Structure 1
């Protein structure tokens, strides 16, 4: 019996697919089960074809998986577009009006025909209610409690009034009872063990980043709406008053980054979030933050590119963009969290590093990580805040904002502190902030100052590297093959390693989170010991492979690259590993 089961709800935008998926997730976590939810959608309000997929298990889940087991389709498109991703002997729940033949499915399956539309009409004039009828049918098939489903529906629709609540309760019960009566003897190849005493909570990657930033003391957030990071703006807007956070939506990303730099310069922890297109507009100001040594955190959620590309699909295509953002050389930090849970802690880490070293920190995520919803058991809220070298009034007599120090980190004063006046400009300057860019530029004495200030800023990266924990291998140290990945692909890689282990193949993984400054020696020492290497990335150009080659001289020849807008799955990795080892 399988201990994992995956459900996919499919229909058109506007059919309430996301709502039933949200209910399903809440039902599972309240039943003590683990979930991993992801969705596929298009840039339309109504129409098109959308789906939401929930993977459910008694144990922790690292990715949204490969094939689903239960398909709920509200129209014929589900048969055309989703059935190819259904496992053999899967279950198809549909209204009798959705007609299809075995040839349309092409594999063994269980047909569960439920009068979704008829029941929906019985309880409402809105055809959308058929999604709730289907939800009830799924809950019975999974062997979950209707009482828990009832409580979730009461919670979700509590602000909609009794009429809406009762409508959804009756619709769900109709679907539940119908399958219980008509399909009670249908075989099940899975076994879930719900335990409400092991209740979980669920977060998306966007929520984890937002909550992590708040927990780190973020007091200013600015953003222009852009998929996949718009939900971070929604979270901050919803909680701004309660959490004491200023939230601003300016006219464009140029205003976003400059307002946040101003807030950070004034002394508050500030964050922005955008995607590749918005980050392009921010780039010059990111360079300015490096020049004036202002600590700021930037979330860059990657999506299908180039240009507008695939705005609702995932990709890891912006690595080189963030590394080369802005003009010239300046110290920066780039972090790529590998999971939703790690995104929470990375947000906290980013703020501490930004203030300790007075640099911009970029958290590089992607749509898959941002929009995935996972179950968690707990978060460590014992959070340490490191605000770096903030000076108090009277502490320093001859104040030099950009004083040359051993670490490159200078004393930071905030506007309004007496006797600590200085210029923070985008031009090159001396230790006190006096500009050397105009009539002084090129003079012999200024050449020395320019060199000294550039070296002062850049040597921060030496000490930043010492903050990073050394990279470690996941899996068997004596592996037949080492898989190299970064960011969100690590979940699929971990599941692939466990699957390979069942087949007697030893594999391990180097999961890179700390991208810049790059841990060249540590990475090289791991890779030179590997018997075989496989690079796994969600982009066309193997950007991480190029970065590794640049820093270590090691060229990874075997690659699994996906760039169609969908995440890499565990079985794709398994097949690729077998192909390499067999050759």
Structure 2
């Protein structure tokens, strides 16, 4: 028996690849397995090759696998593009309709199943995904009743007749392949899982849930890959908590609506990707100047322009930090796990109100859309901090005076009131202003106001601003990274440890203001610092050089072909350093 296995299904978009993956992984989750998924899809609604890969394990996992055990193919293109991942002895379950052929040099066993023909016998070729699922599930020797339960839940809203036909499709696929194979394949038989169903979600869903827990009651947004699932999730969930989602006409409207709603006292967010973030830059400056809380999620993808909208990249770092005109205080945080996506949303809303600044939560496509098992979320630990929001009655104002909304204070954070509060009247403008908000071009006032706003940056440190994954005094190499790469690095590090090679690893989670004092000791202790990131110019490495130094120690490890790092790639790169 084996402790883990990798399964992939591929075909043309619109053939049911996504729903097959969803049902397959849901059934595995019911059995208690840990899962980690990766979606490869084209930037079009229908057509173009797509595949979904699931890694299944009896132990926690946070990375895609280097190789592949079972490939389910709806067309020859799927075999041609993905067969190279198959390990020797791997299996291909393919539709006999296209006369599948395994490329020369690939040591894999082929099961040609009349997937489409069986589905058509049952009434429609649309059910071919269930035939294929039944075939691959049966090869693993897993209980069919668990899979059928997932099928019932997927198609239950369409009525019992549709459920019955899909269950029959699963059964027919299982029976055909088992007859071909002579029963389940012993080499692919998984060790039993612990039976405990895990939380299983994508990062976008975790961020949506985190926003709800943080008290967010309005999301204004415009759809864009890979951020749209946040909006889709909140459309379903926010009304249950008295909130709503507004789909705006563009990203400019989305961010300005969020600023207005936050000014009115409603915790509001927006979410986008690189192109949308570019459109929001002027308004982010308005948030900084008016000291209005604002929370934005940026789900990084391949750029520039439309670029690779459905592929992995971490190339927005410079834009996140330096994109706005002028100088304003802002916070940029990059979660690295599904759990952190949840907790960082809560902290993001708190920081935005405590310091009255824009907060950007930066994920990447793999973290945003990669579905994976995660630890139970501690809802009870959530605390709401609204900062210096004034709730008690304000004193009567002197004649011709207004509330000092932008009062000079020791920490740079001024008291904040909501519109309509008695004696809280003040002026709000995007131009430079005095303590009451009146426009001012005084050079003395300008310097004091700039100092007041920028002073906030001195004390902002989010929880686990630098996440220390491994510190071994004997290690000479330190890997520094961000976002979804953490699990991949940890897996490679475990392999290196078996080879007697010690590697240290830290994750930078607070990108701005940069936590130099937390990173510096790790850089100082290392002989070589490898900065691993999905971009072409080493943006994180440059950020470290700019804020901490150690230029002579830093080596770039870059990948910008649209695919995530594999554990084997990190392993090989580190092996070559020793």
Work out whether the TM-score is over 0.5.
yes
The separation in 1 between residues aligned to 2:428 and 2:191, in whole angstroms, is 60
Asked whether 1:527 is paired with 2:531, we answer no
What is the match of residue 358 of structure 1?
356
* Structure 1 unaligned spans of 5+: none
Residue 513 of structure 1: CA displacement? 0.6
In structure 2, relative to structure 1, the CA distance for the partners of 1:185 and 1:249 (3 Å cut) is: closer
The separation in 1 between residues aligned to 2:204 and 2:456, in whole angstroms, is 30
1:199-246 CA distances to partner (integer Å, 9 max, x unpaired)?
A: 112111110010100111001101111000011111111223212112
1:538-557 residue pairs with structure 2 within 5 A? 538-555=534-551, 556-557=553-554
What is the match of residue 578 of structure 1?
575
What is the match of residue 12 of structure 1?
12
In structure 2, relative to structure 1, the CA distance for the partners of 1:142 and 1:366 (3 Å cut) is: same
What is the match of residue 88 of structure 2?
88
Contact between 2:466 and 2:509, CA under 8 Å: does it hold in 1? Answer: no
Asked whether 1:384 is paired with 2:383, we answer yes
Give the alignment partner of residue 417 of structure 2, picking from 406, 413, 416: 413
In structure 2, relative to structure 1, the CA distance for the partners of 1:390 and 1:468 (3 Å cut) is: farther
- Relative to structure 2, which stretch is displaced further, 135-144 or 55-64? 135-144
1:264-275 residue pairs with structure 2 within 5 A? 264-275=262-273
Asked whether 1:23 is paired with 2:20, we answer no
What is the match of residue 134 of structure 2?
136
In structure 2, relative to structure 1, the CA distance for the partners of 1:369 and 1:451 (3 Å cut) is: same
In structure 2, relative to structure 1, the CA distance for the partners of 1:193 and 1:38 (3 Å cut) is: same
1:425-470 CA distances to partner (integer Å, 9 max, x unpaired)?
A: 101111111110xxxx2xxxx2111111110111111111386655
1:99-138 CA distances to partner (integer Å, 9 max, x unpaired)?
A: 3555x152211222222122112212x2231211110111
The separation in 2 between residues aligned to 1:424 and 1:105, in whole angstroms, is 70
1:349-407 CA distances to partner (integer Å, 9 max, x unpaired)?
A: 10111111110000011111110101124110011111111112424556311111111
What is the match of residue 40 of structure 1?
40
Residue 269 of structure 1: CA displacement? 0.6
Structure 2 residue matching 1:97: 3-state secondary structure: helix
The separation in 2 between residues aligned to 1:260 and 1:145, in whole angstroms, is 48
Residue 191 of structure 1: CA displacement? 4.4
The separation in 2 between residues aligned to 1:471 and 1:234, in whole angstroms, is 30
What is the match of residue 256 of structure 2?
258
Contact between 1:393 and 1:418, CA under 8 Å: does it hold in 2? Answer: no
1:153-180 CA distances to partner (integer Å, 9 max, x unpaired)?
A: 1111111112211111000011122223
The separation in 2 between residues aligned to 1:490 and 1:67, in whole angstroms, is 19
Contact between 1:89 and 1:107, CA under 8 Å: does it hold in 2? Answer: no
1:302-451 residue pairs with structure 2 within 5 A? 302-382=300-380, 383-396=382-395, 399-436=403-440, 441=441, 446-451=442-447
What is the match of residue 537 of structure 1?
533
Contact between 2:86 and 2:108, CA under 8 Å: does it hold in 1? Answer: no
What is the match of residue 213 of structure 1?
211
Residue 30 of structure 1: CA displacement? 0.5
What is the match of residue 297 of structure 1?
295
Contact between 1:340 and 1:372, CA under 8 Å: does it hold in 2? Answer: no
- Relative to structure 2, which stretch is displaced further, 85-94 or 4-13? 85-94
The separation in 2 between residues aligned to 1:24 and 1:466, in whole angstroms, is 38
Contact between 2:465 and 2:509, CA under 8 Å: does it hold in 1? Answer: no
Residue 186 of structure 1: CA displacement? 6.3
Contact between 2:90 and 2:108, CA under 8 Å: does it hold in 1? Answer: yes
Contact between 2:533 and 2:557, CA under 8 Å: does it hold in 1? Answer: yes
In structure 2, relative to structure 1, the CA distance for the partners of 1:475 and 1:80 (3 Å cut) is: farther
What is the match of residue 169 of structure 2?
171
Asked whether 1:118 is paired with 2:122, we answer no
* Structure 2 unaligned spans of 5+: 398-402
Contact between 1:286 and 1:325, CA under 8 Å: does it hold in 2? Answer: no
The separation in 2 between residues aligned to 1:356 and 1:210, in whole angstroms, is 21
Residue 185 of structure 1: CA displacement? 5.2
In structure 2, relative to structure 1, the CA distance for the partners of 1:519 and 1:346 (3 Å cut) is: same
The separation in 2 between residues aligned to 1:397 and 1:474, in whole angstroms, is 57
What is the match of residue 564 of structure 2?
567
1:462-473 residue pairs with structure 2 within 5 A? 462-465=458-461, 469=465, 471-473=467-469
Contact between 1:84 and 1:105, CA under 8 Å: does it hold in 2? Answer: no
In structure 2, relative to structure 1, the CA distance for the partners of 1:580 and 1:515 (3 Å cut) is: same
1:498-537 CA distances to partner (integer Å, 9 max, x unpaired)?
A: 1212222211211111111101122111111012221110
The separation in 2 between residues aligned to 1:18 and 1:194, in whole angstroms, is 26
What is the match of residue 242 of structure 2?
244
TM-score (norm 2): 0.96
The separation in 1 between residues aligned to 2:469 and 2:312, in whole angstroms, is 26
1:499-518 residue pairs with structure 2 within 5 A? 499-518=495-514
The separation in 1 between residues aligned to 2:476 and 2:140, in whole angstroms, is 38
1:473-511 CA distances to partner (integer Å, 9 max, x unpaired)?
A: 425343242111011111211111112122222112111
Asked whether 1:460 is paired with 2:456, we answer yes
Aligned length in residues: 571
Q: CA RMSD in A?
A: 1.6
Structure 1 residue matching 2:158: 3-state secondary structure: coil
The separation in 2 between residues aligned to 1:150 and 1:111, in whole angstroms, is 25
The separation in 2 between residues aligned to 1:237 and 1:208, in whole angstroms, is 14
- Relative to structure 2, which stretch is displaced further, 206-215 or 114-123? 114-123
Residue 329 of structure 1: CA displacement? 1.1
The separation in 1 between residues aligned to 2:370 and 2:219, in whole angstroms, is 22
